[in-house]
Amino acid sequence: MKREKMGLGRYGFRCQQGFTLIEVMISIVVLTVGLVGLLSVFGVAMAATQASQQDMIAKQLANETVESIATARDSGQIPWASVQNVSSGGIFVNAPLQPINQPGPDGIIGTADDAPAEVFTRPGPSGLITGSSPPDVIVPLTNYQRTIAITPATIGGVPVANLRTINVTIQYTVPGIPTPKQYTLSSLISQFR
Protein backbone atom coordinates (compact mmCIF):
# COMPACT_ATOMS: atom_id res chain seq x y z
CA MET A 1 0.00 0.00 0.00
CA LYS A 2 2.84 2.34 0.81
CA ARG A 3 4.40 1.87 -2.63
CA GLU A 4 1.18 2.79 -4.42
CA LYS A 5 0.91 6.08 -2.50
CA MET A 6 4.44 7.09 -3.59
CA GLY A 7 3.60 6.43 -7.24
CA LEU A 8 5.84 3.39 -7.41
CA GLY A 9 4.71 0.37 -9.32
CA ARG A 10 4.86 -3.28 -8.36
CA TYR A 11 8.59 -3.63 -8.94
CA GLY A 12 9.72 -0.29 -7.47
CA PHE A 13 9.62 1.71 -10.73
CA ARG A 14 7.79 5.01 -10.97
CA CYS A 15 4.48 4.69 -12.84
CA GLN A 16 4.34 6.33 -16.24
CA GLN A 17 1.44 8.72 -16.56
CA GLY A 18 0.50 10.32 -19.91
CA PHE A 19 -1.24 13.59 -20.66
CA THR A 20 -4.89 13.72 -19.95
CA LEU A 21 -7.34 14.87 -22.60
CA ILE A 22 -7.90 18.14 -20.74
CA GLU A 23 -4.17 18.92 -20.71
CA VAL A 24 -3.95 18.28 -24.44
CA MET A 25 -6.96 20.52 -25.14
CA ILE A 26 -5.50 23.34 -23.01
CA SER A 27 -2.18 23.14 -24.83
CA ILE A 28 -3.98 23.24 -28.21
CA VAL A 29 -5.90 26.37 -27.12
CA VAL A 30 -2.68 28.08 -25.97
CA LEU A 31 -0.94 27.16 -29.23
CA THR A 32 -3.91 28.42 -31.29
CA VAL A 33 -3.94 31.76 -29.46
CA GLY A 34 -0.22 32.16 -30.15
CA LEU A 35 -0.59 31.34 -33.85
CA VAL A 36 -3.52 33.74 -34.26
CA GLY A 37 -1.41 36.47 -32.65
CA LEU A 38 1.44 35.69 -35.04
CA LEU A 39 -0.89 35.84 -38.05
CA SER A 40 -2.21 39.23 -36.95
CA VAL A 41 1.38 40.53 -36.90
CA PHE A 42 1.72 39.48 -40.55
CA GLY A 43 -1.48 41.39 -41.38
CA VAL A 44 -0.20 44.52 -39.67
CA ALA A 45 3.13 44.21 -41.48
CA MET A 46 1.41 43.92 -44.86
CA ALA A 47 -0.74 47.00 -44.15
CA ALA A 48 2.32 48.96 -43.00
CA THR A 49 4.17 48.03 -46.19
CA GLN A 50 1.26 49.25 -48.32
CA ALA A 51 0.93 52.46 -46.28
CA SER A 52 4.67 53.17 -46.47
CA GLN A 53 4.58 53.06 -50.27
CA GLN A 54 1.63 55.47 -50.31
CA ASP A 55 3.48 57.75 -47.83
CA MET A 56 6.58 57.76 -50.04
CA ILE A 57 4.54 58.75 -53.10
CA ALA A 58 2.90 61.61 -51.14
CA LYS A 59 6.30 62.92 -50.02
CA GLN A 60 7.63 62.78 -53.59
CA LEU A 61 4.60 64.67 -54.92
CA ALA A 62 5.01 67.41 -52.31
CA ASN A 63 8.76 67.72 -53.00
CA GLU A 64 8.12 67.80 -56.74
CA THR A 65 5.66 70.67 -56.30
CA VAL A 66 8.01 72.81 -54.17
CA GLU A 67 10.91 72.15 -56.56
CA SER A 68 8.76 73.15 -59.54
CA ILE A 69 7.91 76.48 -57.91
CA ALA A 70 11.54 77.14 -56.98
CA THR A 71 12.77 76.19 -60.45
CA ALA A 72 10.26 78.52 -62.12
CA ARG A 73 11.50 81.34 -59.88
CA ASP A 74 15.20 80.47 -60.35
CA SER A 75 14.99 80.22 -64.12
CA GLY A 76 13.23 83.57 -64.41
CA GLN A 77 10.35 81.79 -66.15
CA ILE A 78 7.88 83.70 -63.98
CA PRO A 79 8.26 87.04 -62.20
CA TRP A 80 8.25 87.20 -58.40
CA ALA A 81 4.76 88.67 -58.39
CA SER A 82 3.45 85.44 -59.99
CA VAL A 83 4.80 83.25 -57.18
CA GLN A 84 1.46 83.44 -55.36
CA ASN A 85 -1.93 81.81 -55.46
CA VAL A 86 -4.42 82.98 -58.08
CA SER A 87 -6.49 84.69 -55.37
CA SER A 88 -3.46 86.91 -54.58
CA GLY A 89 -2.63 87.72 -58.21
CA GLY A 90 -0.28 84.78 -58.88
CA ILE A 91 -0.48 81.72 -61.12
CA PHE A 92 -0.82 78.85 -58.61
CA VAL A 93 -4.28 77.35 -58.17
CA ASN A 94 -5.34 77.67 -54.54
CA ALA A 95 -8.55 75.66 -54.60
CA PRO A 96 -8.27 72.87 -52.03
CA LEU A 97 -7.76 69.26 -53.01
CA GLN A 98 -6.89 69.56 -56.70
CA PRO A 99 -6.22 66.33 -58.61
CA ILE A 100 -2.58 65.45 -59.23
CA ASN A 101 -2.01 66.53 -62.83
CA GLN A 102 1.03 66.71 -65.06
CA PRO A 103 2.50 70.16 -65.70
CA GLY A 104 0.93 71.89 -68.68
CA PRO A 105 2.64 73.88 -71.45
CA ASP A 106 4.27 76.24 -68.94
CA GLY A 107 6.04 73.28 -67.27
CA ILE A 108 5.03 74.41 -63.78
CA ILE A 109 3.11 72.15 -61.43
CA GLY A 110 -0.06 73.48 -59.83
CA THR A 111 -1.11 76.08 -62.40
CA ALA A 112 -4.38 76.37 -64.32
CA ASP A 113 -2.95 74.88 -67.54
CA ASP A 114 -1.94 71.53 -66.03
CA ALA A 115 -2.69 68.44 -68.10
CA PRO A 116 -4.66 65.60 -66.52
CA ALA A 117 -3.64 62.23 -65.22
CA GLU A 118 -0.18 62.09 -63.73
CA VAL A 119 0.92 58.51 -63.07
CA PHE A 120 3.66 56.87 -61.05
CA THR A 121 5.85 54.37 -62.91
CA ARG A 122 7.42 51.49 -61.00
CA PRO A 123 9.93 49.01 -62.41
CA GLY A 124 8.50 45.84 -63.88
CA PRO A 125 9.78 42.27 -63.38
CA SER A 126 13.26 43.20 -64.62
CA GLY A 127 13.70 45.71 -61.80
CA LEU A 128 14.42 48.49 -64.32
CA ILE A 129 12.18 51.17 -65.75
CA THR A 130 12.42 50.34 -69.43
CA GLY A 131 9.38 51.94 -71.02
CA SER A 132 8.96 48.76 -73.08
CA SER A 133 9.23 45.01 -72.60
CA PRO A 134 9.08 43.71 -69.90
CA PRO A 135 6.31 46.14 -69.04
CA ASP A 136 6.69 48.72 -66.29
CA VAL A 137 4.02 48.99 -63.61
CA ILE A 138 1.90 52.12 -64.08
CA VAL A 139 0.20 53.34 -60.88
CA PRO A 140 -2.52 55.98 -61.42
CA LEU A 141 -2.52 58.75 -58.82
CA THR A 142 -6.29 59.15 -58.67
CA ASN A 143 -6.40 58.68 -54.88
CA TYR A 144 -4.08 61.69 -54.32
CA GLN A 145 -5.09 65.35 -54.16
CA ARG A 146 -2.94 68.45 -53.72
CA THR A 147 -3.42 71.88 -52.15
CA ILE A 148 -0.85 74.64 -52.69
CA ALA A 149 -1.00 77.62 -50.32
CA ILE A 150 1.49 80.45 -50.84
CA THR A 151 1.31 83.21 -48.24
CA PRO A 152 3.56 86.10 -47.16
CA ALA A 153 6.08 84.90 -44.57
CA THR A 154 5.79 86.44 -41.13
CA ILE A 155 7.98 86.58 -38.05
CA GLY A 156 6.05 87.32 -34.89
CA GLY A 157 3.05 88.37 -36.98
CA VAL A 158 5.08 90.92 -38.97
CA PRO A 159 5.33 90.26 -42.74
CA VAL A 160 8.85 89.78 -44.08
CA ALA A 161 9.51 91.54 -47.38
CA ASN A 162 10.55 89.36 -50.33
CA LEU A 163 9.79 86.09 -48.50
CA ARG A 164 6.83 83.74 -48.89
CA THR A 165 5.74 80.52 -47.23
CA ILE A 166 4.78 77.56 -49.43
CA ASN A 167 2.56 74.88 -47.87
CA VAL A 168 1.90 71.88 -50.08
CA THR A 169 -0.61 69.40 -48.64
CA ILE A 170 -1.11 66.00 -50.24
CA GLN A 171 -4.21 64.13 -49.14
CA TYR A 172 -4.48 60.46 -50.04
CA THR A 173 -6.23 57.25 -49.14
CA VAL A 174 -4.62 54.01 -48.12
CA PRO A 175 -6.47 50.71 -48.59
CA GLY A 176 -7.67 49.38 -45.24
CA ILE A 177 -7.55 52.77 -43.50
CA PRO A 178 -10.98 54.46 -43.43
CA THR A 179 -9.84 58.08 -43.04
CA PRO A 180 -7.66 59.89 -45.59
CA LYS A 181 -4.05 60.62 -44.65
CA GLN A 182 -2.27 63.94 -45.20
CA TYR A 183 1.32 64.93 -45.78
CA THR A 184 2.23 68.63 -45.59
CA LEU A 185 5.52 70.11 -46.72
CA SER A 186 6.27 73.69 -45.68
CA SER A 187 9.05 75.72 -47.23
CA LEU A 188 10.15 79.32 -47.63
CA ILE A 189 10.93 80.96 -50.94
CA SER A 190 12.55 84.33 -51.42
CA GLN A 191 12.60 86.74 -54.32
CA PHE A 192 16.34 86.32 -54.69
CA ARG A 193 17.85 83.50 -56.71
- Whole-angstrom CA distances from 183 to 46, 63, 146 are 21, 11, 10
**Helix or strand or coil: residue 118?**
coil
Distance CA 130, CA 136 (A): 7
Output the pTM of the full model: 0.71
pLDDT bracket for residue 132 (50, 70, 90): low
Who wins on pLDDT, 40 or 147?
A: 147
Name beta bridge partners: 119.
140
Q: Is the pLDDT of residue 124 over 60?
A: yes
Q: For 30-58, what is each residue's pLDDT tens digit?
A: 999 999 988 888 877 877 777 788 899 99
Q: Is the pLDDT of residue 171 over 80?
A: yes
Task: Calculate the dihedral angle through the C-alpha atoms of 165, 60, 65, 108, rounding to the nearest 10 degrees.
Answer: 170
